[in-house]
Amino acid sequence: MEFFEVIYGRRAVRQYKPDPVRREDILKILDAANYAPSGMNNQQWEFIVVSGKKKIQLGDSYAIIADGYTSSWDQPQRDEFIGYARTYGGAPVLIVVLTEASDIRGISKMNLESASAAMENLLLAARAMGLGTCWMTGPLQDEPNIRRILDIPDNKEIVALTPLGYPVSFPEALPRLDPELKEKVRWVE
């Protein structure tokens, strides 16, 4: 795919086919993430590729979160959403992105931004390869449990996670709030 096609074609995917993703394809995507820019060239990101029993445990954790925040929804919608959460939309793999934790605000910001750059590379590389992703922080509401399931030490910050898999479809891009970039851009001389 051409570069801008990838940019405009990436969407948050929430429904996946069960087809497995080849390990070499996952590595290719993570290699693209590993080529992101980083503060002080510290390359302060790590990735946990989750499948199998651990993915089921993360799904159970997210289902509890989903149960909590859909308590006011109609039952059918609620059941559907909790079912989605439990399987992460049926994605065969989850990738968790970590960075170095720091109590120093400037460092913490730099680390988070570096890992976010890696995360975006990951999403775009996946899209270029016909794979779907969804940047997610909602599941981190159950962070202590995620840390326990994946054995993540306190010196690592969990940045986000994404399902990875072949999408049922790539929806059309959502409209931009300011498509003409009249409000979001200020030109100064």
Q: Can you read off the two tokens belonging to residue 79?
A: 């059941």
Angle ∠(92,154,143) on CA atoms, nearest 5: 45
Question: Which DSSP letter does residue 154 get?
Answer: T
Number of residues that bind ligand FMN (CB under 6 A): 8
- Least separation in angstroms between CB 40 and ligand FMN: 23
Binders of ligand FMN among residues 136 to 155 (CB under 6 A) are 136-138
165 burial level (CB within 10 Å; 0-12, 13-18, 19+): buried
For ligand FMN, which is the closer residue by CB, 23 or 68? Answer: 68
Exactly one of 26, 63, 131, 134 binds ligand FMN (CB under 6 A); that residue is 134
Helix (H) or strand (E) holding 91: none
Q: Is 94 in the site for ligand FMN (CB under 6 A)?
A: no
- Least separation in angstroms between CB 81 and ligand FMN: 10
Q: Is 81 in the site for ligand FMN (CB under 6 A)?
A: no
Binders of ligand FMN among residues 103 to 132 (CB under 6 A) are none
- Least separation in angstroms between CB 188 and ligand FMN: 27
Binders of ligand FMN among residues 5 to 44 (CB under 6 A) are 11-12
CA-closest candidate to residue 38, choices 94, 115, 96 = 115
Q: Is 65 in the site for ligand FMN (CB under 6 A)?
A: no
Which of these segments, 36-44, 92-100, 134-142, 179-187, binds ligand FMN (CB under 6 A)? 134-142
Query: d(Cα 128, Cα 17) in Å, to the nearest integer?
Result: 17
Radius of gyration of the CA atoms of the chain, in A: 17
Binding residues for ligand FMN, rule: CB under 6 A, are: 11-12, 134-138, 174
